[in-house]
Chains A and B, each alone.
Chain A
Amino acid sequence: DIQLTQSPSTLSASVGDRVTITCRASQSISTWLAWYHQSPGKAPKLLIYKASTLESGVPSRFTGSGSGTEFTLTISSLQPDDFATYYCQQYNSYQYSFGQGTKLEIK
């Protein structure tokens, strides 16, 4: 099974900051990587798929990059609604897995 490791686990930042979250896969997954945003008590929301493609309706301040085993999610200018938990997710041959999550907190 492919394992995803996110770093950091917790990130403190302020409104307007630029932040980056990293996701590393235990083996190459090409660009089969997605990012989700989850607010407390809510379902996850898809942000980015195929490593760098922005889902329709998602603000352009979210950017994804990477391929193979290393991927990043960058938020260029944090807004209040961005303080939440972020998960990466991979797909490989009908098997799916998520990273452990990165909690983005207000500093």
Chain B
Amino acid sequence: EVQLLESGGGVLQPGGSLRLSCAASEFIFSSYAMSWVRQAPGKGLEWVSFISGGGVVTKYADSVKGRFTISRDNSKNTLYLQINSLGSEDTAVYYCARLIPARGVFDMWGQGTLVTVSS
């Protein structure tokens, strides 16, 4: 079964850092662009970042530019999101999603990992 599985979330203090991971299975990971999308508690969806299949092209939402870094290791079928200088506004469920650029859509999503920023 085609699957995305996120990990790395937890409770962190303001100003801290963490790295989220997303393990992909049962599809050719390197052939697909990927993204991170987050959802604050009780709120809507917010696109965070994009990375091309080869990892050469990366894009970010203005709200996270300079603090978030997306990367991937195609040999490990894994997507990453490094988050620095955590603030309360980063509290959210973080989803990794497979992107179909020709359609401009996210056709597969992981179950999400919760990041809570609290002192």
Contacts and interface: CB of A to CB of B under 8 A. Distances in A.
Interface string A14-48: 00000000000000000010101010000111100
Interface residues of A, number: 25
Interface string B27-50: 000000001000000001111001
A89 to B, nearest CB: 7
Nearest to A99: B44
Nearest to A33: B104
A1 interface: yes
Interface in A33-78: 34, 36, 38, 43-46, 49-50, 53, 55
Given A89-B105, A91-B105, A98 B59 contact: no
Nearest to B57: A94
A97 B112 contact: no
B44 A34 contact: no
B106 A46 contact: yes
A95 interface: yes
Interface of A: 1, 32, 34, 36, 38, 43-46, 49-50, 53, 55, 87, 89-91, 94-101
B86 to A, nearest CB: 23
A98 B104 contact: no
16 contacts: A1-B62, A32-B104, A34-B104, A34-B105, A36-B45, A43-B109, A44-B95, A45-B109, A46-B107, A49-B105, A53-B103, A89-B47, A94-B50, A98-B45, A98-B47, A100-B44
Given A34-B104, A94-B57, A98-B47, 9 more contacts: A34-B106, A36-B45, A49-B104, A49-B105, A55-B107, A94-B50, A95-B47, A95-B61, A101-B44
B111 interface: yes
Contacts of B109: 43-45
A98 B104 CA distance: 12
Contact of B111 (A38, A43, A94): A43
Interface in B76-119: 95, 100, 103-107, 109-112
Contacts of A55: 107
A94 B59 contact: yes
